[in-house]
Amino acid sequence: MKNILLLFLSLFATIAIIAQETPEPNYRAAAKYSPKNLAKMVHSTNVSPHWLKKGNRFWYSYKTSEGSNYYLVDADRKSKQLLFDNVKMAKWLTEITKDPYDAKHLPRFRFKFNKAENAIRFRVKSTEEVAVVEDKKEEKKDSTSSKKAKKKKPKMEKKTYYLEYKLGGNGLTIINTKKEEKKPWLRWANVAPDSSIVLYSKNYNLYWMDKVNFKKFIKDEKDSTVVENQWTKDGEENYGYGGGSREDNVDKEKNKDKRKGVWGTWSHDSKKFVFQKSDSRHIKDLWVINSTGKKRPTLETYKYHMPGEQEYYKSELLIFDIPSKSHIKVPLDTVRQQSISVFRAPRKQSSRDDDFRPSLLLSKKGKIYFSVISRDRKKYDINVADLNTGEYKTLIEERFNTYIESRPLILLNNEKEMLHWAERDGWAHFYLYDSDGNLKNQVTEGDYHVDGFAGLDEKTRTLYFTANGVNKKQDPYYLHTYKINLNGSGMKTLDAGDFTATTSMADSNKYFVSNYSRVNTVPKSELRDANGRKVMDLETADLSQLFASGYKFPEPFKVKADDGITDIYGVMYKPFDMDSTKVYPLLEYVYPGPQTEAVNKSFSYRMDRLDRMAQVGFVVITLGNRGGHPDRSKWYHNYGYGNLRDYGLADKKYVAQQLANKHKFIDIEKVGIYGHSGGGFMSTAAMLVYPDFFKAAVSSAGNHDNNVYNSWWSETHHGVKEEIDAKGKISHKYKIDDNQSLAKNLKGHLMLIHGDMDNNVNPAGTIRMANELIKANKRFKFMIMPGQRHGFGSMTEYSFWLRADHFSKYLLGKEATDTDILFMNLNKPMNR
């Protein structure tokens, strides 16, 4: 009896010790790193250059805990100087506006350089109120309404100063005190590159105004003498010339006769306009209901193509001739289900601040370059059409057994050559073609991934590009900039280092700004030349306040996938006050892609889903999985093709087990998982496929049933089979596993969250999941976010605390029972 008692006491003591080893939820630490609080501790982390048109110059702003500074950099002269003296600027603004400023607290500027690029112009609002200047309109002098109007108190508004500062000057010039003119026409007016004509949509048809009438409209939009011209008459809803937008039934009726946008691509001489007309009349409708926005709930109806549906969008390519007001159609096969994309001229870096940036055709020589991809994404063609006749031919064909991805086509050598990006050898590379579609040579080659085009020096025939995985000693996701000769020789790294970098190259291709970091380093920015030589350091991020708060960098890790061969890369986030005597539940934050992976490679202060969750009392990890990010081989990226539910789950489980074996502070018996959108789908799937391993999940906005998600994502990454019967009729077969079919497997604690206005991932997917869980007699939590779209908007912070509560209760053993979410209310001023 005595031995039994001693055994019982020993067992009780062991249980007590184990219970003590689990940390208490630390909501206060999590609240410290809310987005609002972080905005006070971390400011600029990269240089975003505004390249000027003259010389290799750019300006940028950079904010630290000492305020914002504005700099002008001249790369040729290797100089960097303040755009203006903050102390003097504060003095001048105070004198002009009569509002107090100091060097650390200047208004947020929106600069525009003048044409000579020797002065900047900007607007500043003062607190002084002045009468609103109304447009004078003709009124009858003896009208009663006119007399009454004169007696009304004038409307007041903040006085606006439009100012100019000449670089190196000693003061500000007041240009005027007019407020910035509102331009409602920008929402619908498609202005030709030479401004000679404006195109727009009205009642689903194409309309136009000439320059004279458009100017009259801008001056007075109610001017009855403005002449509008109707070009087409065959437009109808869901088969029109622009004007399509998602509106609820109330707004749709209210706005039905208003002018709307018609978007397409202009020829460089403004004489042609290329428009892609889409017929979606036969595509079925989908709906969301806005229960909170207006007096009565409103219905939003929109066309939404779901995977496996036999109907498909029918696309036409039309060429409108501006002088003759006629149009022709490119003779494409509209029976075959396919998607069309017109290649556009790349925008110059120096046009970033331009008010007017028309969309131009890639070619300046009367050609339309466009791509066509089959519905199953396995057949991709690059074509060229004559801008006058519409006749076209195919230049390049790509064929693959999984989906084909693409990048913009690059023309060079006076349009005699083309640079084409493709993954035909299992890796992404550039290929050089002549204008007739004959392959000249492969430019880049090897077991690395070319991410994209950065620049091209046609005189020296040097290509600048970004790529992943060139240096085998580094994380393959790290992005770097390279140059190579178009004949494939002389490849060189331009920003070497153990980090990942983003590049902004000058239009001249002589210099580029590089922003670089890792998740565990302070972000830095520098200017380099085309040979990779560092011209100057630009900035180092100010993280002093962040570190003073107790912040610690996360830890990158590398382990193996479930096959024991493939390298998996991830990042581990820990509580900053981690106690070595305790063991911590493990949370996985997931997003399956396959277009990306939820693993940060550079420093990020957007911590809501990672660092901040860790502070509650968890070890949080993000990790890749086979079938994830495209920045590795096509094999890695396409691994999940045909198995879009389960493909990444074995890796998620095995990685957790490896980390627990390595780190004694991880409690492998308490593993949770969470994610949003695709991550919502994956986290629920993990709970159902491995119900004895994953103990709790929070799944938000998940596409649990991909049969009711959009066809592009699902048919692309999972696959749809094109079948042709004996009579030549084409049909498309689609089959995919969904989450709700495994509802009976649930053992752990699941929370489902969805916005009721989500018109990306319709709430139907989550509702179907809930329906099957109820049928299976399962306990789970289900939260609807009223009035919220896919991202939860203003309720994002609320959703964080729902997640914290859920994991605290089921993994830390402490339930929050207060009605108020205390740490949402702490910094909220109460109404008196």
Residues near 136 by Cβ (< 8 Å), separated by ≥ 6? Answer: none
Residues near 440 by Cβ (< 8 Å), separated by ≥ 6? Answer: 417, 432, 433, 434
Q: Look up the CATH number of the domain holding residue 31.
A: 3.40.50.1820
| Structural domain harbouring 338 | 189-352
**Contact at 8 Å (CB) between 697 and 745?**
no
What is the per-residue burial (b if ≥16 Cβ within 10 Å, else e) of 571-581?
bbbbbbeeeee
Q: Look up the CATH number of the domain holding residue 534.
A: 2.130.10.120
Tens digits of residue pLDDT in 184-218: 777 899 999 999 999 999 999 999 999 999 999 98
In a domain, 411, yes or no: yes
Rounded Cα gap, residues 162 and 167, in angstroms: 16
Rounded Cα gap, residues 176 and 121, in angstroms: 11
Looking at residue 811, its amino acid is L
Residues 54 and 32 grouped into a single domain: no
In a domain, 365, yes or no: no
Q: How many domains does the chain have?
A: 4
Rounded Cα gap, residues 323 and 320, in angstroms: 9
pLDDT at residue 3, as a whole number: 55
Q: Which two tokens stand for residue 32?
A: 């410290």
What is the per-residue burial (b if ≥16 Cβ within 10 Å, else e) of 706-743?
bbbbbbebbbbbbbbeeeeeeeeeeebebebebbbebb
Would the pLDDT of 9 be above 80? no
Tens digits of residue pLDDT in 473-526: 999 999 999 999 999 999 999 999 999 999 999 999 999 999 999 999 999 999
Would the pLDDT of 775 be above 50? yes
Long-range CB contacts for residues 521-526, cutoff 8 Å, separation at least 24 = 521/553, 521/603, 522/603, 523/45, 523/46, 523/602, 523/603, 525/46, 525/47
Span 275-300, average pLDDT: 94
Looking at residue 253, its amino acid is E
Q: Which two tokens stand for residue 121?
A: 């112009």
Rounded Cα gap, residues 309 and 573, in angstroms: 43
Q: Which two tokens stand for residue 816?
A: 């929050």
Residue that the structure tokens 């619908």 belong to: 188
Provide the percentage of residues in the chain whose pLDDT is more than 70: 95
Nearest to residue 408, comparing CAs of 474, 358, 454? 454
Q: Which two tokens stand for residue 40?
A: 């006070």
Residues 193 and 160 grouped into a single domain: no
Span 567-590, average pLDDT: 96
Reported as a pLDDT band with limits 50, 70 and 90, residue 150 is low
What is the per-residue burial (b if ≥16 Cβ within 10 Å, else e) of 746-776?
bebbbbbbbbbbbbebbbbbbbbbbebbeee
Residues 697 and 821 grouped into a single domain: yes
Tens digits of residue pLDDT in 170-193: 999 999 998 887 777 778 999 999
Looking at residue 443, its amino acid is V
- Cβ count near 239 (within 10 Å): 17
Residues 177 and 274 grouped into a single domain: no
In a domain, 703, yes or no: yes
Would the pLDDT of 1 be above 60? no
Residues 817 and 716 grouped into a single domain: yes
**Contact at 8 Å (CB) between 163 and 172?**
yes
**Contact at 8 Å (CB) between 106 and 92?**
no
Span 105-113, average pLDDT: 94
Residues 536 and 617 grouped into a single domain: no
Q: Look up the CATH number of the domain holding residue 270.
A: 2.140.10.30
CA 252 to chain centre: 27
Rounded Cα gap, residues 737 and 725, in angstroms: 26
Rounded Cα gap, residues 245 and 16, in angstroms: 61
Nearest to residue 305, comparing CAs of 630, 700, 787, 716? 716
Q: Which of 51-55, 229-233, 332-336, 515-519 has the lowest mean pLDDT?
A: 332-336
Residues 577 and 694 grouped into a single domain: yes
255 vs 153, higher pLDDT: 255
Q: Which of 5-14, 19-28, 623-632 has the lowest mean pLDDT?
A: 5-14
Residues 575 and 606 grouped into a single domain: yes
Residues 689 and 759 grouped into a single domain: yes
**Contact at 8 Å (CB) between 672 and 585?**
yes
In a domain, 699, yes or no: yes
Question: 309, 328, 352 — which closes off a domain?
Answer: 352
Would the pLDDT of 8 be above 80? no
Rounded Cα gap, residues 700 and 801, in angstroms: 13
Question: 542, 562, 588 — which closes off a domain?
Answer: 542
Question: 316, 333, 352 — which closes off a domain?
Answer: 352
Phi-psi region of 670 (alpha: psi -120 to 50; beta: other; left: phi over 0): beta
By three-state DSSP, how is residue 614 classified? helix
Residues 614 and 736 grouped into a single domain: yes
Residues 310 and 450 grouped into a single domain: no
In a domain, 831, yes or no: no
Nearest to residue 385, comparing CAs of 234, 267, 263? 267
Tens digits of residue pLDDT in 419-428: 999 999 999 9
| CB burial of residue 785 (10 Å; 0-12, 13-18, 19+) | buried
**Contact at 8 Å (CB) between 509 and 456?**
yes
Residues 534 and 608 grouped into a single domain: no
DSSP class of residue 180? P
Q: What is the mean pLDDT of the chain?
A: 93
In a domain, 366, yes or no: no
- The DSSP secondary structure of 9-78, one letter per residue, reads HHHHHHHHHHHHHSPPP-HHHHHHTSHHHHHHH----S---EE-SSSSEEEEEEEETTEEEEEEEETTTT
Tens digits of residue pLDDT in 219-255: 888 899 999 999 999 999 999 998 877 888 988 889 8
Span 689-704, average pLDDT: 98
pLDDT at residue 189, as a whole number: 94
**Contact at 8 Å (CB) between 75 and 49?**
no
DSSP class of residue 134? P
Rounded Cα gap, residues 323 and 707, in angstroms: 47
Residues near 27 by Cβ (< 8 Å), separated by ≥ 6? Answer: 616, 804, 816, 822, 823
Tens digits of residue pLDDT in 360-416: 999 999 999 999 999 999 999 999 999 999 999 999 999 999 999 999 999 999 999
In a domain, 808, yes or no: yes
**Contact at 8 Å (CB) between 705 and 763?**
no
Q: Which two tokens stand for residue 818?
A: 């207060």
Nearest to residue 227, comparing CAs of 240, 215, 236? 215
**Contact at 8 Å (CB) between 298 and 250?**
yes
555's enclosing H/E stretch is strand 555-560
In a domain, 81, yes or no: yes
Sheet of strand 338-342: strand arrangement: 338-342, 367-374, 379-386, 392-399
**Contact at 8 Å (CB) between 785 and 754?**
yes
Q: Kindly tell me the number of DSSP H helices and DSSP E strands found in the chain.
A: 16, 44
